[in-house]
Structure 1
Amino acid sequence: MMNDGFIIGILVALFRGGKLRDLLDVKLNSLWLIVLAFTVQYAIINLYPFYLFMGVIVSYFSLLLFCLFNRKQPGFYIMMAGIAMNLLVMISNGGRMPVDIEIIRQIAPNQVEQLVAGTIGKHVAMTEQTNLNLLGDIFYLHAPYPREALVSLGDILFSVGVFYFIQKTMVKRRSPIQGSVIHEV
């Protein structure tokens, strides 16, 4: 969903007269932490699932540190809150995000068996034994949203933070007579 917040944020900002150049000019600290986070997540999900719990911790703490180092940018505290919520629920469930199985039965019935077995990426079927289910993937996004998705409150907060950052960065208050001199009488 992070990609969605980024893409929708840019499209809305452009529609509002924002400049992509302003987003590209932003100086963010420690971008390597994002690369580390996604590299670790890819590796643990696809290559080393045995290290899922440790990989989730390293990945999400890397994202939290990135946000902390850039906290003066608009929206980064909101992003941190979303990341922290996802990290909390995943730590309390052995590195996996609980997913509402009833919604999965409707939108992706072929994944139910894997979710119940806990063998699909970093997700697991939500049960009475999973912890902090309220923070799990329980919100079903569908039309008019561009694609079906099941997301958590943390995902939503993170995306709101990304969207806010992009709006504040790309859409500047520019004077309608920018560059002109106003003379007082």
Structure 2
Amino acid sequence: MILIFFILSIITALLRNGKIKRLSYLKFRSIWLFILAMVIQLSIVVFGATGSYYILKYIKELYIGSYVLLFIGLIINIKYKPIIIIMLGGLMNVFCFMANDGKMPISIEGLKLAGFDNLIRLIQNGKIALYTPLNGATNYGQFAQLITVQKPFPLPQILSIGDIIIYIGIFVLVQVVMLNSDMDRLISRKPRY
């Protein structure tokens, strides 16, 4: 879904006379932090679903660790102001996760609407330790994964408010960079060797 928001943001900026080459002027520091955070989150989902002992045993620590890496990377690159929006969305997700004993509540009805019947069974049987069904006992359920994007959308999803805010932050970041003509002047002033 992040990729879709990124592409939509590029298209929107192009329609607003933005320049795609300005994205190459983005200079993120310590990009490896973002890559490692994404690898950890992907590993949690992939290996957690297969029942990996170590992933399931340390899932809470791995999830928090991935967000710590992500937040460090975002703080290092805070000069890009829309990153504050991305951080806010991430904090909402972490808050909901921590408030529910290290599990992200997810709407079973939303999963049904999105067509994820196999995932429902895995979550209800405790096979995916990252998630717990959203119910009346859920703390701060408004931050849970409960926003359903269903077919005919090609990639059905179930999102949290935090996810949506992260995507908005990415959208705004791309708009700011692609529409910023000052970036062209800054780059053109740099000496070329």
- Normalising TM by the smaller chain, what interval? 0.7 to 0.9
Q: Which residue pairs with 1:179 in the alignment?
A: none
Q: C-alpha separation between the residues in 2 aligned to 1:50 and 1:104?
A: 25
Q: How does 1:103-114 map to 2 (within 5 A)?
A: 103-107=110-114, 108-114=116-122
Query: 1:3 is matched with which residue?
Result: 3
Residues paired across the two proteins, number: 174
Give the TM-score normalised by the residue count of structure 1: 0.83
Spell out the pairing of 1:101-180 with structure 2 (5 A cutoff): 101-107=108-114, 108-120=116-128, 122-142=130-150, 147-173=155-181
Query: CA separation in 2, counterparts of 1:144 and 1:13?
Result: 25
1:45–1:52 CA contact under 8 A, matched in 2 = no
Q: Which residue of 1 aligns with 2:92?
A: 85
Stretches of structure 1 that go unaligned for 5 or more consecutive residues are 175-185
Equivalents in 2 of 1:146, 1:127: separation in Å? Answer: 28
After superposition, give the CA deviation of every residue in 1:116-162 in whole Å (9 maximum; x if it has no partner): 12323632211233322110111122467554221100001000000
Question: 1:53 — aligned with what?
Answer: 60
Contact 2:106–2:131 (CA under 8 A) maintained in structure 1: yes
- Whole-Å separation in 1 of the counterparts to 2:91 and 2:58: 20
Change in Cα spacing, 1:46 to 1:103, as seen in structure 2 (3 Å) is: closer
Give the aligned partner of residue 191 of structure 2: none
Is the 8 Å Cα contact of residues 117 and 124 (structure 1) preserved in structure 2?
no
Q: 1:111 to 1:42 in 2, by over 3 A?
A: closer
C-alpha distance 98-165 of structure 1, shift in aligned 2 (>3 A): same
RMSD, aligned CA: 2.1
42-51 or 149-158, which deviates more = 42-51
Larger Rg: 1
Is contact 1:74–1:164 with CA below 8 Å preserved after alignment?
no
**Of Structure 1 and Structure 2, which has the larger fraction of its residues in helix?**
2
Cα distance per residue 1:49-103 (max 9 Å; x no partner): 3211000101011111111111120311100000000111112223322111112
Alignment gaps of 5+ in structure 2: 48-54, 183-193
Distance 2:152 2:175 in 1: 22
Structure 1 pair 163–85 and aligned structure 2 pair: CA distance change class (3 A): same
Give, as a single letter, the amino acid of the residue that structure 2 aligns with 1:117: N
- The TM-score normalised by the length of structure 2 is 0.80
Aligned residue number for residue 73 of structure 1: 80
